[in-house]
Structure 1
Amino acid sequence: MRPFTYTQPKTIEEALTASVTNSDSKYLGGGTNLVDLMKEDVERPSQIIEVADLDFNTITSNDTGGFTLGAMLSNSETANHPDIRKNYPLLSMAMLSAATAQIRNMATNGGNLLQRTRCPYFFEVSMPCNKREPGSGCGALEGANSKHAIFGWSESCVATHPSDMCVALAALEATVTLQKPGGTSRTIEFTDFHRLPGDQPEKDNTMLPGEIITAIDLPSPKFQSNYHYLKIRERSSYAFALISVAAGLQISGGKITDIGLAMGGVAHKPWKLIKAEAFLTGKMPTKANFEQAAELALRDAKTLSDNEYKVTMGKKAIVRALEQALAKTA
């Protein structure tokens, strides 16, 4: 780990000022991703700005009839909060499937959105990686890529986003609030927060320099009864998803009136299944319709040399998640 200065601001204004003053700084929440990357010499900030103790650590109701999650609140506190368990059980289920209890106790909501890929070429500094070192090449493109993307990848990067929480937030159509230096703020639709790699894979999201995440806004409660988060991985803990599916259904009169459907482990960002959602809206929640939706969702998949299995696995995972949601199985 390289030397760095440590700053512990008392207010968000102080944190933003420190960030603007030093463009080579990083915000530190729980540190469950950043510190690991610093130890591996992947991240090399000259200044660490501690933000975990700032006043964005509550869950409150918002103007849309939903709830606002403080960015500095831990994943455990969020997932186990009574209002979240009652009103957004899909989010709670997804968050509790992530990592381990010890990590969830430390990791923050804002940090969860900002965690970086677990691609081995990204972590190994002796290997080429455009995300870590732009212009060096993508080792995974023609290398070991069984766990990599089947949607949205480019010749520059085929890595996937690792979060479980973010898949559920995409299905729930959340928004992200950012504060800029100078005190102004802006809101981004969750599906627009993360970006595809294109020719700039080093940019994981659409945040501007110096901005900080202050909140995640959830819409009015939905999918309280029919929901499921399915996570397929190589082992039951300390493993990231090969494929994950967040599925939420609103059913009235025997038909699907609202649906949230997103996948993880398949792209550089949480992958919202817009076509499948549109297909299922207004239809009966039958296995045949779920299978058609799954075929539609995976139709545009583009596989690499070692991950063709993800297409078959993805289809089956979508059907299974929807069936579990329909059966009210959590």
Structure 2
Amino acid sequence: MISIRFVISMLGVAFTSFLIARAAWLTGPVDNLPLLYTTMVVYLVSAWLCIFWGLSWRTAARTNSVSVGRGNERLPVWVCLVALVVAMILPPAVSLGVGSGALTEQYATWYIGGIGATMTILVVRRRPWPAWSGTALLAGWSMFLLGPGDALGLGLVGSVVWVAGAQFFTFALDRAARDTERLSELQRKASAVHAAQSGQQRERRIQVQRALAVAGPVLGRTIASGGSLTPEERTEARIAEGRLRDELRGPRLLDEAVREALDAARRRGALVTVLDEGGLDGLDEGQLGEIRRELADTLRSARSERLYIRTSPDDRVAVTVVGRAASALGLSDEDSVDLWREIEHPIR
């Protein structure tokens, strides 16, 4: 793929080469032919220096970027000074080479278009002030050497228009680039919000499906029996209610082993409370799996009549399991605690 900057650079090379080829076609005598050819070579060197400085051929051949002259493509100051020096010495040198009798000939006024092209390149390479300074030098020299009327008629107006057009082009391109960046940022934010909303909707659907799977059969039997449930059915309804609360309050703590351990605790009459209060953010499935395995083992060995399972925001502790025995006469709340287990964060 070829970048736009590479195409523009090649157009600049072709145009400056055309100007020199046109200037080299001499249609009349000149006073100093070596000086004239020297000015052509000096011009080409300075113009191509402005075009090719910082251009990566590998990048130009392999990328398809729409950026022209942004960031590191800005010309260094010393290259701009070279272009300004050439704009200063080229008009009098060309006029001296062709002689006073041929100042308005085609091969004697090529510097007007040549310097205008170089200043246009400076604008595209993000150096507008040197470009307009060089344009002012060109206007001053051409009017001094040719007269205002001949200078304007022989290409000075076109050179000024080129520089002004390049200024407008680069301004519009920079603005389009900024708008594109803002649009890309808005699209990224919109995609992130959409993804988050999709994840939340998917999670809600999963929770609703689990709730229906847990509570649906119990509700069906309750409706069918008119609310008259057997002791076994009441136990199943209490367990179903606990499952539903677990799914809503602590879904990240649950897997099949934990659910089975919670059901077993409830079937033996324990009151179980599961709360996810944060602290598990950033853990991957492997780390959550370790926490769940340890939690399931703790619940299987517990004999407490009340179990409280809470996640912890502590940096060390991930989950705290507290078990309390039935309050007996003369026992304080602290004395009734018969299980205290802290499940630590897995080593990351």
TM-score of the pair, normalised by structure 1: 0.26
What TM-score do you get using the length of structure 2 for normalisation? 0.25
Relative CO higher for 1 or 2, CA cutoff 8 Å, sep ≥ 6?
1
Higher helix share: 2
